């Protein structure tokens, strides 16, 4: 295999599943003919942020669960001999090397979700590849910026200790709970909770807390059996939340990660990601910050 395991995470999880079959209706018309995972943030597609986080957390193999119209992703993570030849001819060796690096990030496996039956159903499509191993799930719409400590690496440290599923959570304003999976928990350590109940997209009145599931999970393979038995739930879809709920008696944990999450499946989250991530780039920061300052002055902010 072309990838090497980073030295920091002491865990045995090597696979990450990326459900990437959704239509992206919140981002129309940008997603009419392009996969939402291929929308550009600064200078790379949303999905590449997730795969880079996975690799930085010690993941070697990525299972992309796709659907029709998503083949652009396969090209992005493949060799591009003609492009590389042209970059080489122009003396742009750094760019050529970068194209190679992207294609060698991880071992990629593609499986199809043939019908849009929900997130739980999408994860289940990866079962033949994952087998009887623990694995991560990444919801690619969520770009997670954990700084020097990737959010998934934070979850994997908890997993290495507990050997049970761990879900990334963040507190959300009360009015936002209908957008998320919401948890009832018992605190068992710093930022760490044992989950007692979970409900997908509750009404504001029914939500058991303000702790919301964000798009990173470490799961154990018993979730596949649970998902096989899971009936359609919220929105008439087979929900990952409902599958994980069946495992609560054996222990499932929530970890309130440190870092910043951008929901790139929404226009506001996408705009915020673009501005904040551009401001973190050493090669773009100074000029872009000057532009934003000037813009604020001009608009009277
Ligand atoms: C999914 C999950 C939900 C989670 C959310 C995070 O919902 O089902 O539990 O809180 O992602 O973004 P979706 O946004 O796909 O409707």
Q: How does pLDDT run across 88-121, given as a tens digit for each residue?
A: 999 999 999 999 999 999 999 999 999 999 999 9
Q: How does pLDDT run across 272-300, given as a tens digit for each residue?
A: 999 999 999 999 999 999 999 999 999 87
pTM of the model: 0.94
- Looking at residue 301, what is its pLDDT? 59
Residue 217 has pLDDT above 50, yes or no: yes
CA of 117 to the centre of ligand 1 (A): 14
Q: Looking at ligand 1, which residue's alpha carbon is closest to its atom 10?
A: 180
Residue 138 has pLDDT above 50, yes or no: yes
State mean pLDDT over 261-267: 95
The ligand 1 site (C-beta within 6 Å) comprises 119, 139, 142, 180-181, 200, 212-215, 239-241
Ligand 1 pocket check: which of 19, 173, 181, 263 to mutate, most ligand atoms within 8 Å of Cβ? Answer: 181
State mean pLDDT over 190-199: 97
CB 122 within 8 A of CB 21: yes
CA of 141 to the centre of ligand 1 (A): 10
Model confidence at 11, pLDDT cuts 50, 70, 90, reads: confident
State mean pLDDT over 145-153: 96
State mean pLDDT over 127-136: 97
Q: What percent of the chain has pLDDT over 70?
A: 96
- Looking at residue 3, what is its pLDDT? 44
Q: How does pLDDT run across 168-182, given as a tens digit for each residue?
A: 999 999 999 999 999
Q: What percent of the chain has pLDDT over 90?
A: 94
- Looking at residue 6, what is its pLDDT? 46
- Looking at residue 10, what is its pLDDT? 67
Please, what CATH class does the domain formed by 15-265 belong to?
Answer: alpha beta
Residue 83 has pLDDT above 70, yes or no: yes
- pLDDT, averaged across the chain: 95
């Amino acid at each position: 295999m072309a990838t090497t395991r980073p030295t920091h995470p002491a865990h045995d999880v090597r696979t990450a599943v990326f459900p990437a079959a959704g239509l992206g209706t919140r981002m129309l018309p940008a997603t009419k003919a392009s996969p939402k995972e291929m929308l550009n943030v600064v200078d790379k597609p949303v999905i590449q942020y997730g795969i880079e986080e996975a690799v930085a957390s010690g993941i070697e193999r990525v299972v992309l669960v796709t659907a029709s119209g998503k083949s652009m992703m396969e090209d992005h993570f493949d060799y591009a001999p003609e492009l590389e030849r042209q970059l080489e001819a122009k003396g742009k060796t750094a760019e050529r090397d970068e194209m190679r690096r992207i294609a060698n990030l991880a071992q990629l496996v593609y499986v199809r979700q043939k019908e849009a039956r929900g997130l739980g159903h999408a994860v289940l499509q990866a079962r033949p590849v994952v087998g009887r191993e623990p694995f991560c799930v990444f919801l690619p719409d969520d770009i997670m910026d954990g700084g020097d400590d990737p959010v998934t690496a934070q979850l994997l440290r908890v997993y290495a200790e507990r050997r049970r599923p761990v879900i990334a959570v963040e507190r959300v304003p009360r009015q936002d709970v209908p957008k998320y999976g919401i948890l009832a928990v018992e605190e068992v350590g710093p930022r760490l909770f044992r989950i007692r109940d979970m409900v997908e997209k509750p009404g504001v009145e029914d939500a058991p807390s303000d702790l919301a599931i964000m798009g990173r999970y470490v799961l154990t393979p018993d979730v596949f059996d649970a998902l096989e038995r899971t009936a359609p739930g919220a929105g008439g879809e087979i929900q990952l939340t409902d599958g994980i709920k069946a495992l609560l008696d054996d222990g499932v944990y929530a970890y309130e990660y440190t870092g910043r999450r951008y929901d790139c499946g929404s226009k506001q989250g996408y705009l915020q990601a673009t501005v904040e991530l551009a401001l973190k780039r050493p090669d773009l920061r100074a000029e872009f910050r000057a532009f934003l300052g000037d813009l604020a002055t001009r608009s009277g902010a």
